[in-house]
């Protein structure tokens, strides 16, 4: 699809200018946390326990950064070689902005860093196997979008890429640096894209024609076509999910839901399923419902 720039007035909404009825915020990542494990939602969104970045998350963030910068180049220059040339400079930029990333590798481990950069470059090869960026002009890249639903809930998140066709049709594109998942995990990824589709529908009045997942490791594309009735049902699901979060918060009752995903959880030391004890529940004065976990929605690539 070719694209024309689109400005979403809701992108610039700050809490000070939100409708006075809005009292909570939710991103697709945190909504998925609650669906996966209510206690994980509590650890991230209420306790805001720190999490050390992993190599996999850092690789995802790096690849997203390279693909964003790739589209700054003239169309003819968007080649695999150009993308490869962006890997090291973008890693240096990320480490400067987030010094904790440097701690992923032992001091002086030049070989480890080099292998990490090579692995990111290999994922970019997967990207070029499924798309030709010389034929694309995205309307939005790494854009924060938001909308108010049910008068009280602000939903928001980062789009990896939005393509807009000359006829106004929208295509939402999400880069995944992991392998193509089994059905249950693909449903989680589509949940995220439906979240974005709902925001776009509510802010622009257009149901996206295509929700596209690009699995770079396996060089696979998964396309999904939503409709207005489905997004209306999904909106009710999101509102019901938030109501469940509110009820759990009022009861201070967020229970663990053990699964194979526990193997990747940073908070086993605090989880009763692993013999841990959650920290004391924060007082209401220390929480801000308009601050979705950490300082906002999860950064691009952070939840790969």
All structural domains of the chain with their residue ranges: 20-49+138-250+264-273, 55-134
Contact 163, 138 (CB under 8 A): yes
CA–CA gap between residue 65 and residue 127 (Å, rounded): 13
Q: Is the pLDDT of residue 264 over 90?
A: no
Query: What is this structure's pTM?
Result: 0.85
Question: Can you tell me the mean pLDDT for 248-253?
Answer: 95
Mean pLDDT of the chain: 87
CATH assignment of 20-49+138-250+264-273?
3.90.320.10
- pLDDT 10s digits, 103-136: 999 998 999 999 999 999 999 999 999 999 999 9
Q: Is the pLDDT of residue 19 over 70?
A: yes
DSSP, res 43: I
* Helix or strand run (H / E) with residue 145: strand 140-149
- pLDDT 10s digits, 47-104: 999 998 899 999 999 999 999 999 999 999 999 999 999 999 999 999 999 999 999 9
**Which runs of consecutive H residues, i.e. helices, occur in the chain?**
28-36, 38-41, 55-70, 80-97, 110-130, 183-204, 228-251
Tokens of 176: 């995944």
């Amino acid at each position: 699809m070719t694209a024309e720039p689109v400005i979403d007035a809701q992108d610039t909404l700050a809490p000070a200018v939100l409708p006075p009825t809005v009292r909570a915020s939710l991103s697709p990542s945190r909504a998925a946390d609650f669906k996966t494990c209510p206690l994980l939602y509590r650890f991230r969104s209420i306790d805001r326990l720190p999490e050390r970045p992993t190599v996999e998350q850092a690789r995802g963030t790096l690849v997203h950064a390279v693909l964003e910068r790739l589209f700054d180049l003239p169309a003819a220059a968007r080649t695999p070689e150009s993308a490869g040339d962006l890997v090291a400079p973008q890693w240096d930029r990320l480490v400067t902005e987030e010094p904790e990333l440097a701690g992923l590798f032992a001091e002086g481990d030049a070989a480890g860093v080099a292998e990490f950069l090579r692995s990111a470059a290999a994922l970019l090869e997967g990207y070029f196997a499924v798309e030709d960026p010389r034929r694309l002009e995205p309307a939005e890249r790494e854009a924060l979008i938001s909308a108010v639903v049910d008068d009280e809930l602000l939903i928001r998140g980062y789009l990896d890429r939005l393509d807009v066709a000359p006829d106004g049709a929208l295509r939402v594109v999400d880069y995944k640096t992991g392998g193509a998942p089994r059905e249950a995990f693909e449903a989680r990824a589509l949940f995220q894209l439906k979240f974005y589709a709902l925001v776009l529908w509510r802010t622009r009045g257009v149901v996206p024609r295509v929700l596209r997942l690009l699995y770079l490791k396996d060089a696979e594309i998964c396309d999904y076509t939503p409709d207005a009735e489905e997004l209306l049902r999904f909106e009710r699901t999101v509102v019901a999910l938030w109501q469940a979060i509110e009820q759990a918060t009022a009861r201070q009752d967020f229970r663990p839901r053990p699964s194979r995903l526990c193997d990747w959880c940073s908070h086993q030391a605090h989880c009763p399923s692993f013999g841990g004890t959650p920290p004391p529940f924060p007082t209401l004065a220390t929480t801000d419902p308009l601050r979705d976990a950490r300082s906002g929605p999860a950064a691009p690539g952070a939840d790969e």
